[in-house]
Amino acid sequence: MRPRALTPRARLFYATIPFMKKRVFLIHGWEGKPHNHWFPWLSLELRANGFDVSAPQMPNAATPNVAEWLSFLKGYVGTPDSHTYFVGHSLGCIAIARYLEALPQKIKIGGALFVAGFSGRINVPEISEFYSLPFDPSRAKTHSKSFVMIFSDNDPYVPMARSLEFAKQLGAKTILERGKRHFTAREGVTALPSVLPSLLKMSS
C-alpha cells in the first residue's frame, strides 16, 4: 500500500513546527579563552555534525568568581532543554555542575561532558571558592542522565582521585586518557577524539 500523501493543510502544519537544533556550550577553565586547546577542533567537528556551538569568554577568567560565572551562564544560555549540551574543561566543569545545581527543578538538559574536572581541594587558592562552597551533586544530577568524565593519568594539577570523586558524585561514565596531562595546547593536546563520540551518543 502506498503511503498517503500529505494534504496541503498537513504540509503547512509540519512546516510550522520549529526545528530543534542541538546546542553545545564549551566552557573553558581558569585563565582560559574560548579558542584555546582543543575547543577549536571540537567546534569544527560538532558543527560538521549539525550542532550549534557556542564557546563564550567567561568573565574575569584570571580572577574567577562563582556568582559572576553562574550569573553569566544563566544569561548566556537562556532556557536550556533536552537539546542542550555542555562541555567543560577544568574549572569549567565545576561551573557547569554548579549551574545545573541552580536550575529550576523541571528543566532537563541533554547531557554534560567534563574534561579534567574535579571535586574537592586541589591546592589552587586562586579558584578555591569554586570547590570550597557547598555543592549538592544530587540536585545537579536531576537535570540529566548523561554525564561523562574524561581525565588523564598524569595530570599535574588534578589528581585522578579528584576526577573520580567528581564523576562518582554525578554518576558520570569515566574515560581514562593516558599521557594527556591537563589537556592543554601547551602540552600538545589540540584535538581530543574521545569527546566527539561521547557527545554524539548522548544526543542520539
Catalytic residues: 90, 155, 182
Q: Which residues touch 192 (CB under 8 Å, ≥6 apart)?
A: 38, 41, 42, 115, 150, 177, 180, 183
CA–CA gap between residue 93 and residue 186 (Å, rounded): 20
29's grid cell = 577553565
Nearest alpha-carbon partner for 190 in 25, 39, 29: 39
Nearest alpha-carbon partner for 107 in 74, 143, 66: 143
149's grid cell = 568524565
114, 96 contact by CB (below 8 A): yes
Q: Residue 68, SS3?
A: helix
Nearest alpha-carbon partner for 153 in 183, 127, 176: 176
CA–CA gap between residue 178 and residue 59 (Å, rounded): 32
> How many of the other CB atoms lie within 10 Å of CB of 41?
16
